[in-house]
Amino acid sequence: MPPSQTRGTFPVDPTKGNTAIAFPTQRKTFIKSSTFLLWGFVTAFFPRIFNTLLKFPSAINFLHFLIVPFAGVVAIFNTKTKDKQQIAISQALLIGLVALFTINVASALLNKAGVINIVLEFLLLGEPLIMLLGITSLAMSPKNIERFQKWLIISAFSNLILVYIQRYVLRYDLLRPISPWDLMQGVFYFTGAGHVVSASVSLTFAFYYFTTVKPRPLWLRIAVVFAALGQIIISDTKQIFLVFLIAAVIFVLLKMTDIVKAIQYILLFIIGGSALYWAAFNLAPNTELKYWTNNLDLVQDGLELKYSVFSIVHSYYHSSWNWLLGLGPGHTVGRLGGWMIRDYYDLLNPLGVSIHPLNKRIWEVVSANPLGDKSSLWSPLWGWAGIWGDLGFLGLGTYLYISFLAWRYFCVDDFSRYALLSVWVFGAVFSQMEEPGYMLFVMSLIGIRWHEHRCRDNKLS
């Protein structure tokens, strides 16, 4: 077949060389991979709305576990990049993911966990990184980047606007007398900590929109920031501000080499935090914020409850191998063992899901403590503890390794680094690192920023 008729290539002018350009084939692969990745994100971001309001079966909450890995693998193995550094980085991240899966299997064998436990544990931890790797493997033009970015922005605006509709139009605050602000959950309605997840997404989006979407008017970008801060107040998710404040202080310290300037920035954060504290206390005085400020002596009791997880997990060790491999996927205080197995037991039981006695024990401890239902800030079920409890120090070390790779090679600007740093701080407070909607949103933004910087660098070179 002559070169001009080769499938997937443009005709070649003999006077200009004989190199075929495989652009149509690349475009076809991009459309398939990027569309699948977008569908994977949508099925992780919106399933609660479909399940709660539109009465879709609860299995829809698991659909993204099929779409995202498939789309990511297709994108990775169809990549056209010739950049040796990018290939090496992708290979290192893939090796890390394989190691994480291997540790899952080893931990399951040691602790007699079910096969479905292995699959779900790996996907809860690895799916966001598969999404990031899939996005960065695509050959995106500026138009395609804008298309992907548009869907992320639409999704974030949908969540933010829906919170205000729930509060001021649908009046969800009148549905129950106790903690009605917990119902301001946006697109994550209705889940136990949906208000926390929704506010986390909104504040992350606000920082992204303000710092990176420069073509939009300044007043609009400022309005988005204030709307996100307002959501924290009306949903009483004070923990979110604490997490982002801690992440901001750490971020500044990592960037600053001048101690005097570092102290100045910390003082600015303290002043800003005090201002938001005053606003929350005076504009919404009936929230739990007032309760905790009047009962500071309970903070120590709350911290004792939170960190009791270590002694509880250790009390179930039956082998020295548990230090390295934990008690098994889904057997301790991660999202799988803490909530998913309990909430979806009817769906997971036929698949052979295994339950550990610790799952019941940890909830007994929470229920018996007066602070157990006061705030998720004191919950002993949190991300880093869950990874360590389920997979031991080997699993924790492997997850830290692949997280570091994401930080080092894919976080190309301040927003991306701050967003990932916030995820890590969330892991010390909640189980946010295993919340698919939040994590896929953050990783998608980081992936898009990576592409935007690549396009800019290519224009300058």
Residue 151's pLDDT is what? 95
- Across 84-88, 130-134, 142-146, 430-434, the highest mean pLDDT is recorded for 130-134
Token pair belonging to 354: 């295994």
Residue range 362-366: average pLDDT? 94
As a whole number of angstroms, the distance between CA 159 and CA 51 comes to 16
Instruction: Measure Cα distances from 454 to 16, 74, 442, 451, 457 in Å.
Output: 28, 21, 19, 5, 5
Contact (CB, 8 A) for 338 and 362: yes
Give pLDDT, residue 343.
92
Encode the chain in three state secondary structure. CCHHHCCCCCCCCHHHCCCCCCHHHHHHHHHHHHHHHHHHHHHHHCHHHHHHCCCCCHHHHHCHHHHHHHHHHHHHHCCCCCCHHHHHHHHHHHHHHHHHHHHHHHHHHHHCCCHHHHHHHHHHHHHHHHHHHHHHHCCCCHHHHHHHHHHHHHHHHHHHHHHHHHHHCCCHHHCCCCCHHHHCCHHHCCCCCHHHHHHHHHHHHHHHHHHHCCCCCHHHHHHHHHHHHHHHHHCCCHHHHHHHHHHHHHHHHHHCCCHHHHHHHHHHHHHHHHHHHHHHHHHCCCCHHHHHHCCCCHHHHHHHHHHCHHHHHHCCCCCCCHHHHCCCCCCCCCHHHHHHHHHCHHHHHHHCCCCCHHHHHHHHHHHHCCCCCCCHHHCCCCHHHHHHHHHHHHHHHHHHHHHHHHHHHHCCCHHHHHHHHHHHHHHCCCCHHHCHHHHHHHHHHHHHHHHHHHHHHHHHC
The pLDDT value given to residue 140: 83
Task: Provide the CA 265 distance to its chain's centre, in angstroms.
Answer: 27
Could you give the CA distance from residue 456 to residue 25 in angstroms, rounded to a whole number? 24
pLDDT at 287 exceeding the cut of 60: no
| pLDDT at 10 > cutoff 60 | no
Proportion of the chain above pLDDT 90, given as a percent: 59
Q: Compute the average pLDDT of residues 233-237.
A: 87
Query: Contact 101/141 with Cβ under 8 angstroms?
Result: no
50, burial (CB in 10 Å: exposed 0-12, middle 13-18, buried 19+): middle
Model pLDDT, residue 237: 86
- The token pair at 259 is 């101690």
Q: For 173-200, what is each residue's pLDDT tens digit?
A: 888 776 777 889 999 998 878 999 999 9
Q: Does pLDDT of 165 surpass 70?
A: yes
Residue 14 reports pLDDT greater than 80? no
Cα(36)–Cα(279) distance, rounded to whole angstroms? 43
The answer to whether residue 223 scores a pLDDT higher than 90 is yes
Are 211 and 414 spatial neighbours (Cβ–Cβ below 8 Å)?
yes
Sorted by where each begins, the domain ranges of the chain are 26-460
As a whole-number percent, the residues of the chain with pLDDT over 70 amount to 85
Tell me what pLDDT residue 54 has. 82
> Using one digit for the tens of pLDDT, what is the confidence trace for 118-136?
999 999 999 999 999 999 9
pLDDT in tens, 380-399: 999 999 999 999 999 999 99
pLDDT band of 159, cuts 50, 70, 90: very high
Query: What residues contact residue 87 under an 8 Å CB cut-off, 6+ apart?
Result: 81
Mean pLDDT of the residues in the chain: 86
Closest CA to 194 of 55, 332, 57, 49: 49
Region of poorest pLDDT, from 108-112, 153-157, 296-300, 345-349: 296-300
**pLDDT value at 49 more than 50:** yes
Q: Is the pLDDT of residue 15 over 60?
A: no
- Check residue 178 and give its pLDDT: 66
Give per-residue pLDDT as tens, 257-283: 767 767 777 777 777 667 766 665 666
pLDDT in tens, 299-331: 778 888 999 999 999 999 999 999 999 999 999
pLDDT tens for each residue of 406-435: 999 999 999 999 999 999 999 998 888 999
* Higher-confidence position of 5 and 363: 363
The whole-number pLDDT of residue 17 equals: 41
